Homo-oligomer: A and B are copies of this chain.
Amino acid sequence: METWDAIRARRNVRTYQDRPITAEDLDRILEAARRSPSSSNQQRWDFVVVTDRERLRELAKVWTYGQHVASSAATVALLARDTSDPDEQASIQYDLGQASMSMMIAAADLGIGSCHSAVRDQLLARELLGHPGDVRCEVLIGFGYPADRPLNPISKPNRRPFDEVVHRERW
């Protein structure tokens, strides 16, 4: 798909077809994350990709609004070093946002929808994913083929108007 179409076609998808994502396509999505830029190229992230249905069902319980994870074809957990330094935390989050967007655009290009889930129950996440104690699961992104309709460029996104959000030369 053309890049500009993929960017405009990406949308939150919470209900998925019962159809797996091929290993090749899943690796491409993960490769997009791996290639993302990060502060001083530190790459302070790890990705756990989950496709096992039973584990996905359990993983969906880490947040009230994460039910879409249960029926996703695959969910990627984004993990990073746990830190009490707010500046480091902010910098890591910015980089995780970049990696997330890269994955979601790569997925949209393949007709695959995506949706975030926060991680409130950190103990359950650790039990399921098995990451070390100094690492924290920051966000989950569920992926799957949309159950409702294919991804197509959205002409009128539900966003603040362009001229409100964009300022020219000065605020």
Which A residues form the contact surface with B (CB < 8 A)? 1-8, 10, 12, 27-28, 30-37, 41, 43, 45-52, 55, 79, 86, 89-91, 93-102, 104-106, 108-109, 116, 128-132, 135, 139, 154, 157-160, 162, 165-171
Structural contact, A34 and B98, CB atoms closer than 8 A: no
> How many copies are assembled?
2
Structural contact, A43 and B7, CB atoms closer than 8 A: no
Structural contact, B47 and A167, CB atoms closer than 8 A: yes
Structural contact, A160 and B35, CB atoms closer than 8 A: no
A36, B1: Cα distance in complex, Å: 18
User: Which B residues lie within 8 Å of A47 (CB)?
Assistant: 165-167
A27, B91: Cα distance in complex, Å: 27
Q: Contact check: which of B6, B97, B102 meets A95 at CB < 8 Å?
A: B97
